[in-house]
Amino acid sequence: MAGSRRSDEGSVGSYACDQRNLDNEAEKAMNSSLWKRPALVVLVLVALVMTMAMPASGAPTRVSHPSAPLTVHASGGRGEARVSWSRPASNGGSPITTYVATSHPQNKRCVTVSTTCTISKLRNGTLYTFTVVARNKVGAGSSSRPSNRVRTTIVTPTKGAKTSWWKPGPGVLPWQWEIDHALNLGDATDMGTNDTLPNGQPAPAPKVYDIDGILNPASTVAALHARGAHAICYIEVGSAGNYYSTAQEGIASTYYAQYQAAGVLGNALSGYPEHFLNINSPATVRITEAMIAQQCAAKGFDAVETDLDETYSGSDGASGFSLTQGDEVAYMTKLADYMHRLGLGWVIKNPDDTGDNYATLMEPLADAVLTEQCNEYSTCSALSAYLGHKAIFNAEYNLSTASFCPSDIAAGINGALFPVALNGTRSPCQ
């Protein structure tokens, strides 16, 4: 056995020696051939360089810190401030885990996974700015630019200011939306008392009526209350049209004329004889607040539906003014606070149209939502912050009740089919 093994080893050694000689001869021949063909040499070298430059298969992508959050905006309150911002342009290749907002001065902080938070325990009467950083698994990114300056204040309620108001909650809440004309209390169509459900059964009588705040008198609101219903005051706050007379508004100069005299009218609103309002103007706030007090509060309405309250987004057309989300938040915060002091709830209108986080930002202030066509345009999900604890009213115009009512009912949304004219006809889901 041993002799046989040594004989095998000798044979292998002899073969290896012969093979090395053959390899050397082949290498010499290849080198000689390559140098006689310079173009081939270049191709070989290029291929070699590219191969060396390529990352190894499965090499991990490099992760870095996120960039700075954008458009930080703040609004002051009593000993606190609400801060909102937009997501960074880059998350550094890794999902953002938290945001940290910081006050200047005091360095008070709030940590959140959303793009808004409230920083409390601030000194009243003090000017603040705020910065925000984003964090991912690598750590904190660079700080944002400072927000606008805000002053915290001690809000002292004026004499007679209300401390509570109607807050429509979740669940089935039959409603009617008629703003084409003054509500006719004796007309079954206007009152929604002769409607049918998708299953053919009689629809329950509305418990909420959303009606024009200027065309309808205080006596109509009182009659609705006598029926056990609530009344929502429809007004426009982001545009103005010359629809009403001084007699209808009960004032010496119409609101439209006042806006016009103040120079706050912008571009025309496409499809309507209206003009956008400059929501950054104190005159706009003053005139609109007067309308809320005179037409909604004085007549005994329970809440206000604010149409065109998201004009910064451009979803209704170019306003003619340079408006930001922060401008809209500041404007609607002023109006919402004013409504609440008058004992009126706020029904925000179409916040799901903006394509950003506006709906979520305004949820703490809004008492209910009225959205149009959220099923048709697949925007209902933008109202997730309201689901389950605030009423959501949805008006569809072009879809059949069979196509949208099941999803509205499942989500807890009070859906109904209306004509665009909003003249009293309706087909409620439940």
pLDDT digits 0-9 by tens, 225-253: 999 999 999 999 999 999 999 999 999 99
> Predicted confidence band at 7 (pLDDT cuts at 50, 70, 90)?
very low
CATH code for position 311: 3.20.20.70
157 falls within a domain: no
Q: Which of 20-24, 91-95, 216-220, 406-410 has the lowest mean pLDDT?
A: 20-24
Same domain, 106 and 207: no
374 falls within a domain: yes
* Helical (H) or strand (E) element with 119: strand 116-119
Q: Which of 109-118, 146-155, 185-194, 303-312 has the lowest mean pLDDT?
A: 146-155
Q: Pick from 190, 186, 164: which is nearest to 176 by CA?
A: 190
137 falls within a domain: yes
Please report, for residues 181, 220, 273, 294, 386, the alpha-carbon distance to residue 251 in angstroms, rounded to integers and kept in the order given: 20, 19, 21, 9, 37
Same domain, 137 and 180: no
Which of residues 109, 136, 151 is at a domain's end? 151
CATH code for position 74: 2.60.40.10
Over residues 91-137, the pLDDT tens digits come to 999 999 999 999 999 999 999 988 989 998 898 778 899 999 999 99
Neighbours of 95 (CB within 10 A): 9
Tell me the residue range of the domain where 111 lies: 70-151
For the chain, the domain total comes to 2
pLDDT of 38: 53
Q: Pick from 12, 4, 150: which is nearest to 82 by CA?
A: 150
Same domain, 187 and 331: yes
Over residues 310-369, the pLDDT tens digits come to 999 999 999 999 999 999 999 999 999 999 999 999 999 999 999 999 999 999 999 999
pLDDT of 121: 86
Same domain, 121 and 182: no
CA 143 to chain centre: 23
Pairing of strands 208-212, 175-178: parallel
87 falls within a domain: yes
Q: Pick from 67, 68, 75: which is nearest to 325 by CA?
A: 75
pLDDT of 59: 54
Please tell me the distance from the alpha carbon of residue 207 to that of residue 185, in angstroms, as a whole number.
14
Rounded to two decimals, the pTM is 0.68
307 falls within a domain: yes
> Predicted confidence band at 159 (pLDDT cuts at 50, 70, 90)?
low
- Residue 227 in tokens: 């029926």
CA 202 to chain centre: 36
pLDDT value at 1 more than 80: no
Same domain, 291 and 364: yes
Same domain, 108 and 220: no
Of residues 276 and 18, the one with the higher pLDDT is: 276
